[in-house]
Amino acid sequence: MIVIKLKTVFKCNSCGYEASKWVGRCPDCDNWNTLEEIAIEAKKNNNRASSARIVKKYARLTEIKATNSDRIETGINEFNRVMGGGIVRDSITIITAKPGAGKSTLLLQVAADVASKGLKVLYASGEESESQIKSRADRLFEKIETGVWVYSDNSMDNVLEVVGQVDPDLVIVDSIQTFVLDNFPGSRAGSPTQTMECANELLKLAKDPTRPRAVFLVGQMNKSEEIAGLRALEHLVDAVLILDGDNEEELRGLSVSKNRFGSTWERGYFSMTEGGLVSIDNPSEFFMTYRDKNEKVSGCALTVVKDGSRPIIVEIESLVSKTFTPFPSRIGECVRREQLSTLISILEQRGKISLYDKDVVIKTSGGLKFKEPAVNLSIIMSIVSSVYDKEIPNDTVFISDVGLTGELKKVPSLELRIRELDLRGFKRVYVAKNAIMRSLNIKNIEVIELKSLQDVINHVFKSVSK
């Protein structure tokens, strides 16, 4: 016979320490006022025969049959790319972003797409009412799918009951920090205890072998641009998605910092419009400005960045003008100011171009921000083009880092970048000498290997005198 009694303990919401009575300061982590009262079930087993454990059958690793996780492939290509090919049916994923970035909009679009395939979706919100969600859906869709159910409540117990009634294939919880379980009355919504316990219940829901479901959680972002709450929440889920982008800008980037069912270096791009987030399936077209062959524009240079597994062609724009202040401006929307100042110093010393009395402004088409040194040569050449007021041909690309000595440096995945340029019909690319480590199967593009920045400037601007 099993006797169930309620037992009250005090648990620290910072480190998890449990005490039988409340104290002002946690004995384990020394934080003040972090102990919260919670009720737990204390089970007493009076039947020794019934207390025997049931041990699950074990097996050798070589004897276990590997199974490929079944996926729900949406019609949003960039979302599928980041997820590793689609939504795994028995997975739990969390997505976070700054307020207003579009995470709820993206998940509502995913819900509608999944429902259009004949599957059921439950969108549970602890922040918005049903009418607010309906208003957003009316703005996003011409036709609302009948397979999407909406439930507005902050009780996780009620959400789980609704899941049993609707029997959805996809459950979206927005946001996890707003829900509570009745078993923990001493903990408020958003506390580490409530957040983790609610997430654990959803984990059991997703991993149920008799009825697997895909679960998406929206996680609030703190001031450090991390998921609010304990780090254990990120360890619990299968994938962590981050949607970034300023609210004033059109571009949004979706990246993944953890993915048990795919790679962790993929990144998807979206354009925020009045009709929601639009997948940018060909980022190179978005980050380039197409001009006529006879159109001449100075201050522009092309490069290739490697974002995830794919190369993306990007245009860099520079504007160099005379300054009227004692300290010239160095403005870089796409790079850190320290990086831009370093590249300008290299250009002045090694390229013999004076910029001490010039303002320099750098940006990219589309607002992409650079994180790799392979773009450095292109940034410098766009500045040189602006100084000389002479255009660089539209079919010319620069892929190289530049050292403090003015020497060109090797960059990773150079062969992949060059092959992408060859497929798109570019005519020449400038790289570091001896940077190509293997043979290239290219047909159209000329690879020009040079040793220094000065060599590149002389080769591109042959008729320009310094």
Q: Which pLDDT does position 37 carry in this prediction?
A: 78
266/317 same-domain check: no
Domain boundary (281, 309, 340) is at 281
Residue 399 lies in a domain: yes
- Give the residues across from 57 on adjacent strands: none
Between 218 and 19, residue with greater pLDDT? 218
Residue 352 lies in a domain: yes
| H helical segments located in 270-388 | 283-286, 337-350, 376-388
How far is 409 from 257, CA to CA, in rounded Å? 29
How far is 289 from 282, CA to CA, in rounded Å? 13
295/277 same-domain check: no
* pLDDT at 47 > cutoff 50: no
Residue 99 lies in a domain: yes
Q: Residue range 32-57: average pLDDT?
A: 62
Q: Which pLDDT does position 40 carry in this prediction?
A: 67
277/294 same-domain check: no
* pLDDT at 222 > cutoff 90: no
3-class secondary structure, 346: helix
Residue 64 lies in a domain: no
Q: Residues near 186 by Cβ (< 8 Å), separated by ≥ 6?
A: 36, 37, 38, 39
Q: Which pLDDT does position 246 carry in this prediction?
A: 77
Q: Which pLDDT does position 52 carry in this prediction?
A: 54
Can you give the residue range of the structural domain that contains 186? 73-281
277/237 same-domain check: yes
The residue type at 263: S
How far is 382 from 386, CA to CA, in rounded Å? 6
Q: Residue range 182-196: average pLDDT?
A: 87
Residue 220 lies in a domain: yes
Query: What are the Cα distances from residue 93, in Å, to 172, 194, 309, 437?
Result: 10, 18, 22, 39
Q: Hey, what are 20's tokens?
A: 């039988």
332/447 same-domain check: yes
Look at the chain and report how many structural domains it folds into. Answer: 3
304/191 same-domain check: no
pLDDT digits (tens, 9 = 90+) for 313-339: 999 999 999 999 889 999 998 899 999
Q: Residues near 453 by Cβ (< 8 Å), separated by ≥ 6?
A: 346, 347, 350, 351, 377, 380, 402, 406, 407, 408
pTM of the model: 0.80
Domain boundary (249, 281, 313) is at 281
290/263 same-domain check: no
Residue 254 lies in a domain: yes
34/106 same-domain check: no
* pLDDT at 160 > cutoff 90: yes
Domain boundary (247, 281, 315) is at 281
| E strands in 98-156 | 121-125, 148-152
85/146 same-domain check: yes
Residue 298 lies in a domain: yes
Q: Which pLDDT does position 199 carry in this prediction?
A: 94
Q: Hey, what are 405's tokens?
A: 């000595």
Q: Which pLDDT does position 38 carry in this prediction?
A: 79
Provide the pLDDT confidence category of residue 33 given band limits of 50, 70 and 90.
confident
Residue 447 lies in a domain: yes
398/308 same-domain check: yes
Q: Residues near 229 by Cβ (< 8 Å), separated by ≥ 6?
A: 177, 190, 192, 195, 196, 219
154/199 same-domain check: yes
Of the candidates 333, 384, 389, 342, which has an alpha carbon nearest to the alpha carbon of residue 362? 333
Q: Which pLDDT does position 237 carry in this prediction?
A: 95
CATH number at residue 365: 3.30.230.10
Q: Which pLDDT does position 360 carry in this prediction?
A: 96
pLDDT digits (tens, 9 = 90+) for 93-152: 999 998 889 999 999 999 999 999 999 999 999 999 999 999 999 999 999 999 999 999
Q: Which pLDDT does position 35 carry in this prediction?
A: 78
CATH number at residue 121: 3.40.50.300
Q: Residue range 394-408: average pLDDT?
A: 95
**Cα atoms in the 13 Å half-sphere on the side-chain side of 241:** 30
